[in-house]
Structure 1
Amino acid sequence: MNSRHSIQLQAQTISQRLAAFTTHLKLDEVPQDVRERAKHLMLDSIGLSYATLKLPYATSTLAAMQELGTGEATVFGHRERLALRDAMLLNGLLIHSLDFDDTHARGVIHSTASALPCAFNLAEREDASGADLLLAYLCAMEVSTRIGAAAKSGFHHAGFHPTGLAAVFGCSLAAARLLDLNEEAARHAQGIALSMASGNLEFLQDGAWTKRLHPGWAAVAGTTAATLAKHGYIGPGAPYEGRFGLYALYLKTSPDAPDLALATHGLGETWEIDDVSLKPIPACHFTHASSDAAVALYREHRVSADEIERVVVRVPEATIPIVCEPVANKQKPANSYDAQFSIPYIVATGLLRGRFTLDDLDPAALTDKEVRALAARVTHEADPDTTFPRHYTGEVIVYTRDGQRLAHREAINRGSADRPLSNDDIVAKFYDNAQRGVSREEAERICEAVLSLDRQPARALANVLRASQ
């Protein structure tokens, strides 16, 4: 990091430091491999949006946004245009709805699902360059992931969805960047955003659709906060460390104190995108290692359902309330969202089918009698050797009726920063998902446009995404 940035980051509050960093950052200061990874993360998310186009929650949200009004902003994969913030909301939902999008492990946050809609739609409106879009996206990613990481998993413990809470701050600074705000205004944008940070985990109780709104809503709120700041609106000066700031207010029931230093440590020197994990299966990241362990046992032993007496799954203790409890709900998922957060269902599917894909979220798969019967025999316990939250560990132990004990452990979840998917893997995943909504030829045009983003206007990408339906 250059000396100018070093001086600027001596500011006292977190919001001042983040404002200084994002306001003055230049794209050529970002390592080339980080820029390339960023474009591939965007590609992954855009592919997911095409796999979601015709699903009920997507069509319902489009109808609701159209009722609120029209505009000129592009929605991924649609010819219809919406008002700026309504398009952000829907684009975030399209990316996040399948729960197949990227996750920052320490922040436990789906960062691209908010950062991309905010940067994309605002860059389109401002007629910004693709390079400016990419830089704004990078600013959002750095800030949102760091704000999430500083909570040390405490947001989840308190019943909040970190994506909704932390991402609003990253989006406020991405918007500030595209609106050309100065440091003071960017600081105010974060203070204003504090009043807009929201998102809870109540959807886990009954598979409600609300979680799907959280990333897009963060983009909406961050953009609103930055626009207010642009016009002189004053926000609190210490939105993070204040008496009623983010961490004091939202972590009252957390067993661990937040580490506020993580919010700004190494800004401009270490890049949080390097710690963003890509999902190899369409389910909560907390289930991935267990899923892979189950698939490994299927490939090695091919044990039938009738041969299995019971299954024990070891997972990080902090994830148990999310993917293992309440037990009755997890063993009999009522819908696709329940299934994506169900260790019993995902492990049973892996043991019997040797996979977990989008097809396993179809209604027919959810009611498969053999899978359901085995899921009822799946229990859980805390993993004593976990390295969570750095890794989302998982171990599956199968006890057979003839007395065998079969076990497989995944100490590092596939797709994590320490076991990453390659850029080529991401491209392959993009095509698998995008072709659920468009032809191979159209998917190729989208891929080319995203990966050449920094060499064209933002509206050029918008034209490709809007025309591809």
Structure 2
Amino acid sequence: MTQGRLDIAALLLRYAQAEPPEDVRAVMNLSVLDWAACGIAGQREGAFADWAATMTSGGPATRLDGRTGTVAEAALINGTLSHALDYDDTHFAHIGHPSVAVVPAALAVAEAEGATLREMVDAALVGAEASVAAGLWLGRAHYQIGFHQTATAGAFGATVAAGRVLRLDPDQFRYALGLCSTMASGLKSQFGTMGKPLNAGLAARTGVEAAMWAQAGMASTPDGLAGPLGFGETHHGAGDDVPFDWRMDTVSHKFHACCHGLHATLEAVRNTPLRDARQVTVHTHPRWMTVCNQVAPDTGLGAIFSYAHVLAMAAFGLDTGDISAFTDSCAQDPSLVAWRGRVQVVPDESLTEMQARIVVDGTTYTHDLDSPLPIEARRKRIHEKARALVGARADEIAQAIEDDDLARFAQLLTS
């Protein structure tokens, strides 16, 4: 570790051993419900279901596709399927999707170890916090150069989540993080393809494997993150100082079935007639220009990363909160394709990643996502979203979480 720089491994270990505050745990309970609904809906995607079906080894861990698997296999499949729709939570502190990496890791290990659901949630929570902290430590340069924080920082969070359930000692944790540092990977070039959800699954599997291997006695460099030729140095990490803090209470849940970078824009014009607009100019933070500004997507996956297309959908009255609306035929609809030519997207350094300013024929509309909903309002919207995704099963899943019933929770993922 470079002298004077943060010992990031020690910070992640502190999260691994911490007792979460109740208010943050309450938000994580909602994220687990949100994750489950997104995963159940995601496993219905034909191409992803076909991919998961190629892995049929059996084992102690529940898979969202209705099978069981090894711990690492279940983490991989569940992480991928739960991110298949790109409808899961996002933390804007580092621009990553925490739950799809850490919940599958915590769940798979918890089932194998006979842990309680509360223990699983706590492990997922400290893993999510660790992933955000790791992402902040890696910094903006890491993300901007092309690395996917869900995959990279998420893998370290998944390692912390799995290691907490396994009760790794401090030396084992450092070895696990060191092993993770030589495996973590994932590129933003996969956005708009099946490779993006796979990044989440790989992060979950990496965390499980790193923790289990360290428990089994595999050693590694004790400072694989900040040490010489470590992950930070070789992956454009800035090594920024990061204070210990709880941040998952400010996680942002999706209420539009597209990239979170588009949500401030959609919220800004939610009640605005757009169909007859002649010119729509979107002002957004420059970071989103390489993430969700596909100008002419021709697939449903591409459409969820396109300002022009989601605005065209809104203009024509299509529900951007409806996953089934994002189809290849929608992306290729001649009327929408023609309308999206009215949209211009420009970078604006005066805005944060959470803000958008939209000018519609000279009239300006703005929105800022950086104001988390009060817990009851958040609970209401997440329950409504979960019911829309999985029907009455959403209420049963919420009850299983409240009852600390891991077996019932796992059963509901596949019933």
Name the TM-score class by shorter chain. over 0.9
Contact 2:43 2:82 in 1 (8 A): no
Contact 1:72 1:82 in 2 (8 A): yes
**1:172 is the counterpart of 2:172:** no
Contact 2:33 2:394 in 1 (8 A): no
Aligned ranges for residues 188-207 of structure 1 at < 5 Å? Answer: 188-204=175-191, 207=192
Q: Which residue of 1 aligns with 2:8?
A: 14
SS at match of 1:110: coil
Q: 1:314 to 1:354 in 2, by over 3 A?
A: farther
Q: Distance in 2 between matches of 1:276 and 1:290?
A: 18
Instruction: Report deviation, 1:419.
Output: 4.6
1:452 alignment partner AA: D
Q: 2:320 aligns with which of 356, 361, 364?
A: 356
Q: Which of structure 1's runs of 4+ aligned residues deviate more than 4 A?
A: none
Q: Which residue of 2 aligns with 1:142?
A: 129
1:15-44: CA deviation from partner (whole Å, max 9, x where unpaired): 13422441x33xxx4222211111110000
Count of equivalent residues: 408
Aligned ranges for residues 4-403 of structure 1 at < 5 Å? Answer: 13-22=7-16, 24-25=17-18, 29-66=19-56, 69-76=57-64, 78-204=65-191, 207-251=192-236, 257-259=238-240, 261-262=241-242, 265-266=243-244, 270-298=245-273, 303-305=274-276, 308-324=277-293, 330-353=294-317, 355-357=319-321, 358-388=323-353, 392-399=354-361
Give 5+ residue unaligned stretches, structure 2. none
Instruction: Report deviation, 1:237.
Output: 2.1
Instruction: Report deviation, 1:158.
Output: 1.0
Q: Distance in 2 between matches of 1:20 and 1:393?
A: 32
Contact 1:108 1:149 in 2 (8 A): no
1:323-365: CA deviation from partner (whole Å, max 9, x where unpaired): 22xxxxx232111121111011112222332741323302332
Q: Distance in 1 between matches of 2:139 and 2:118?
A: 32
Contact 1:313 1:394 in 2 (8 A): yes
Contact 1:296 1:408 in 2 (8 A): no
Instruction: Report deviation, 1:373.
Output: 0.6
Instruction: Report deviation, 1:58.
Output: 2.2
Q: Distance in 2 between matches of 1:311 and 1:227?
A: 52
Contact 1:331 1:344 in 2 (8 A): yes
Contact 2:178 2:220 in 1 (8 A): yes
RMSD: 2.1
Q: Distance in 1 between matches of 2:138 and 2:6?
A: 19
Instruction: Report deviation, 1:431.
Output: 0.8
Instruction: Report deviation, 1:417.
Output: 4.7
2:285 alignment partner AA: P
Instruction: Report deviation, 1:459.
Output: 2.7
Q: Which residue of 2 aligns with 1:409?
A: 366
SS at match of 1:163: coil
Contact 1:107 1:145 in 2 (8 A): yes
1:242 alignment partner AA: G
Contact 2:298 2:328 in 1 (8 A): no
- Taking only the aligned residue pairs, the percentage that are identical comes to 26
Instruction: Report deviation, 1:311.
Output: 2.0
Contact 1:317 1:383 in 2 (8 A): yes
SS at match of 1:281: coil
Instruction: Report deviation, 1:423.
Output: 1.4
Q: 1:200 to 1:166 in 2, by over 3 A?
A: same
Q: Distance in 2 between matches of 1:464 and 1:318?
A: 38
Structure (1 or 2) with the larger CA radius of gyration: 1
